[in-house]
Chain A
Amino acid sequence: MVALPLVLPFAELEVGQHLYWQLGNFKIHGQVFLSSWVVIGALLALVVAGTRKLSRDPQGTQNLLEFLWDYIRDLTREQIGEKAYRDWLPFIGTLFLFIFVSNWGGALVPWKLIHLPSGELGAPTADINTTIALALLVSLAYFYAGLSRKGFRYFEYYVEPTPIMLPFKIVEDFTKPLSLSFRLFGNILADELVVAVLAFLVPLVVPLPAMFLGLFTSAIQALIFATLAAYYIGEAVHEEQH
């Protein structure tokens, strides 16, 4: 990095710096936990507030929550199918809401007002550990879904329609979590970095288009992650019509 000729203390960019907490033998990224807790707290508060006084006439928060539930149910039912979608609706809904609120929270909450000893707060999904954890949960979920619904017949899926597909399907089991996690992580981190770099270069107005675009991609990424997770589960529980 070249020091700018003018000493302008506009902004600071930090990548690869983290607020490390020691937990047993693990060093964990504290800033991700902090922002995750905020996101989880916000979601819980919204849900509790929206379901406290349920009425037949859906008003305000209850209406919003019902709308979200309808949306997630439609998504899940479309991907998993009428038979099994009820079992997986909570999982897919949690994924979607957590990722969506994380992304938007990262883009909208002025995290940088809070100064940490090291690293900076942001969207939890801009950290690869979060997205890998979510993607591995999806892997576990679709294995469990397939095995619990079809038993060992689940593995027929690997040799359908022809046994030639076997190596590809095995590789797929590894590429699914990889692509899920990297897609989400990459998009959110890239968005944050673009905004940060633009804000660093031109502090006013210029980052605005990138920020709006970031809101759009954030929502799309949450939708993509949830849809793909539901699709993988649907693929695992799908019964071949013989």
Chain B
Amino acid sequence: MNLPIPLVMASEGGFGLNFNIFESNIINLAIVIACLWKFLPSFLGGILERRRALILSDLKDAEDRLAKATASLATAQQDLGQAQKKADQIRAEGKERAQSIRLEIEKRTIEDMARIKQSSSNDLESEAARVTTLLRRQAAQLAIDKALASLPGKLDDQAQARFIEQAIQSMGNA
């Protein structure tokens, strides 16, 4: 569709600029671009500004959460340190008490053992004394029995009289 209209400037070949106002449609383009220039920034700018505000608030939220988390981490670590200190203290106390209890028990055991030994030796002594007494009594009994057995043959009037004399004399001496 090459219209047979005599062209003013564009007729020559080769590259160049064409400043024909109507041919280049420049006025309409200027109006369109001016309209866009006027309305697009406010429309697009609103969207972009909202987007930016949203991102910034998100970032701020995240930063706040980070700060809060850091603070609570610090508190938790402090608590942990205190708890560990307390645990160490409790452990030390426990050890100390265990040591003292062991010592006491040892001491008491030793005492008990000594006492048991003592009482057993006491028992032994008393038993020995009892057996000794018993044996002594039996021996005396035996001697008396023997004496009584041999007495009828040995004892006559003379001997009896002499014996009584002696006894009276010893009583008199007493």
A195: nearest residue on chain B (CB-CB)?
A: B25
- Please name all residues of chain B whose beta carbon is closer than 8 Å to the beta carbon of A63 when the two chains form the complex: 48, 51-52
* One of A108-116, A127-135, A136-144, A169-177 contacting the partner: A108-116
Say yes or no: B5 contacts A113, CB within 8 Å: no
| A-B interface, 8 closest residue pairs, ranked by CB to CB distance from nearest | A112-B24, A115-B18, A203-B22, A115-B16, A199-B25, A117-B13, A10-B22, A9-B8
Return the contact of B59 from the options A12, A13, A56, A59 (Cβ within 8 A). Answer: A56
Interface size grouping (class) on chain B: 35 or more
Which of A114, A115, A195 has the largest number of chain B CB atoms within 10 A? A115
Return the contact of B3 from the options A12, A108, A211 (Cβ within 8 A). Answer: A12
Q: Does A3 contact B (CB under 8 A)?
A: yes
Q: Mark A1-30, 1 if CB is under 8 A from B, else 0.
A: 101100111111111110000000000000
Q: Does A41 contact B (CB under 8 A)?
A: no
Q: Does A58 contact B (CB under 8 A)?
A: yes
CA distance A208 to B36 in the complex (A): 12
Q: Does B148 contact A (CB under 8 A)?
A: no
In the assembled complex, how far is the CB of residue B139 from the closest CB belonging to chain A, in whole angstroms? 117
- Please name all residues of chain A whose beta carbon is closer than 8 Å to the beta carbon of B1 when the two chains form the complex: 1, 13-16
Say yes or no: B25 contacts A115, CB within 8 Å: no
Q: Does A57 contact B (CB under 8 A)?
A: yes
Q: Does B144 contact A (CB under 8 A)?
A: no
Report 13 cross-chain contacts, Cβ distance below 8 Å, ordered by A residue: A9-B6, A11-B22, A58-B52, A63-B48, A64-B48, A67-B47, A112-B26, A114-B15, A114-B16, A117-B14, A196-B25, A207-B25, A215-B36
In the assembled complex, how far is the CB of residue A29 from the closest CB belonging to chain B, in whole angstroms? 16
Which of B6, B10, B28 has the largest number of chain A CB atoms within 10 A? B28
B33: nearest residue on chain A (CB-CB)?
A: A108
Say yes or no: B23 contacts A112, CB within 8 Å: yes
